[in-house]
Amino acid sequence: MGRVFFVEEPVFDTAGPSLQTVVCPQTGVHVVTPHLTSDVDRNRVLAHLLGEFFQQKGIKAPVAWFYTPMALEFFPPEVTPRAVVYDCMDELSMFLGAPAQLCALEERLLRMADLVFTGGVSLFEAKRHRHPRMYPFPSGVDVPHFMQARDLPADFQEHRNIARPRLGYAGVIDERIDLALIDEVAHARPEWQFVMIGPTVKIPENMLPRRANIHWLGMKPYADLPRYFAGWDAGIMPFALNDSTRFISPTKTPEYLAAGLPVISTAIRDVVRPYGELGLVNVIATPEEFIAVAEKAMRRDMCLKWRERADDFLKTLSWDSVWYGMSRLIHGLVEAPPPTSIRIAPVAGTEAARV
């Protein structure tokens, strides 16, 4: 696909306004980090910086890849993309604190996009009528990375001071997590240890239930996740069932499975289908069901037949296979001549464009 430039969210510091670029030695991706001062017109300055950057790098007809419609607010207006891809990972308008202009910008992006990818099947089903070339791509998984957990010791770092059994969660902790569910189960089973890994965002820290058997460990490096998973007796996905979780497709589902963990989840649609229907994930609705299912899941030795079925399913979910499917669709676009009339008017988001 040629050169790839990934524009990160701005950092607000005294180094701005500027763009700093680092090339990933493993992938060759150019990671572009905008540095801004807090007193600038963010969108205007970003559009100017990126316009100059594109000119310096000789980027004339890029494939513009958007993870958020908010990126339209700073994409340089003088740049004419060869193709526009909207990678719609979530229903962002339903998240806590979503910008008021998000829906209007998404409508605009859908009109401009040549291709739309969705991060799960339920999101695809909800949006498919809005674009003629929309395709679902549920989360992939780096199977070899997480499969390391099956052979690693169970006493990694903080685990040394946490008794067993350990039920673990790894991911963002925000309005999508059912904190009451965690609190009730932890209260009912004080001998169970809940290991919660990930940053707390959009909700105040004082909302987190505080019990001796709930351990909020904060964000951990991706490289270390298999070491934590190795010390867990079950992987949990205690999502609240609300607007913000209606269309999510949790990446951690296949990651837990690759680690060899029994998985307990609330009834998220993209977990129930296919994982629950295939018997790969235990789906629960109440604290009582959680306790009953967890007791059973943690008692059993990991059945070889269950693990074989999980491993067979995971073979279809590699990130390579996800990219292969996306790449074929994109190549079908870029083989055509660049457009002569489509332009993106000024408009951040953040996780904006891959070029």
Tell me the three-class secondary structure of 248-306, residue by residue.
Answer: CCCCHHHHHHHCCCCEEEECCHHHHHHHHCCCCCEEECCHHHHHHHHHHHHHCCCCHHH
Same structural domain, 53 and 166: no
**The pLDDT of residue 346:** 35
* pLDDT at residue 301, rounded to an integer: 57
pLDDT at site 338:
44
Residues whose CB is less than 8 angstroms from the CB of residue 332 and which lie 6 or more positions away in sequence, other chains included:
none
Residue in the structure block whose two tokens are 């993309």: 81
- Residue 264: name the closest of 238, 301, 303, 300 by CA: 238
CATH classification at residue 343: 3.40.50
CA distance 252 to 139: 9
Are 194 and 244 part of one and the same domain? yes
The pLDDT of residue 336: 55
Residue 227 shares a structural domain with residue 310:
yes
Predicted pLDDT of residue 95:
82
Tell whether 108 and 252 lie within a shared domain: no
Domain CATH for 176: 3.40.50.2000
Q: Which of 265, 271, 255 is nearest to 314 (CA)?
A: 255
Instruction: State the total domains in the chain.
Output: 2
Residues 99 and 173 in one domain: no
Whether residue 224 sits in one domain with residue 173: yes
What is the reported pLDDT for 91? 87
The token duo for 341 is 């009339």
Q: What pLDDT score was predicted for residue 145?
A: 97
What is the structure's pLDDT at 97? 82
Structure tokens at 168: 């673990």
Nearest CA to 137 out of 264, 316, 7 is that of 316
Which residues, listed in sequence order, are joined to residue 236 by a DSSP beta bridge?
Answer: 264
Residue segments in the chain with a per-residue pLDDT below the cut of 70: 1, 300-304, 336-355
What is the predicted pLDDT for the residue at 207? 95
The secondary element (H helix, E strand) that includes residue 218 is: strand 214-218
The answer to whether residues 167 and 312 belong to one domain is: yes
Radius of gyration of the chain (CA): 22
* Angle separating helix axes 287-299 and 179-188, nearest 10 degrees: 60
The residue segments making up the domain with residue 194 are: 143-316
Handedness of CA 172, 100, 75, 15 (dihedral sign): negative
Same domain, 292 and 350: no
d(CA 262, CA 303): 10
338 Rama sector, left if φ>0, alpha if ψ -120 to 50, beta otherwise: beta
Exposure string (b/e) for 69-90, b if CB count within 10 Å is 16 or more? bbbbbbbbeebbbbbbbbbbbb
Q: Given this model, what pLDDT does residue 60 score?
A: 87
Name the one residue in this structure whose structure tokens are 């990651």: 255
Identify whether residues 24 and 80 lie together within a single domain.
yes
Same domain, 289 and 334: no
Query: Which one-letter DSSP state was computed for residue 225?
Result: H
Nearest to 176 by CA among 200, 193, 192: 200
- Confidence (pLDDT) at 341: 36
The answer to whether 156 and 220 are in contact (CB under 8 A) is no
Q: Where are the beta strands (DSSP E) in 96-201?
A: 115-118, 134-136, 166-170, 193-197
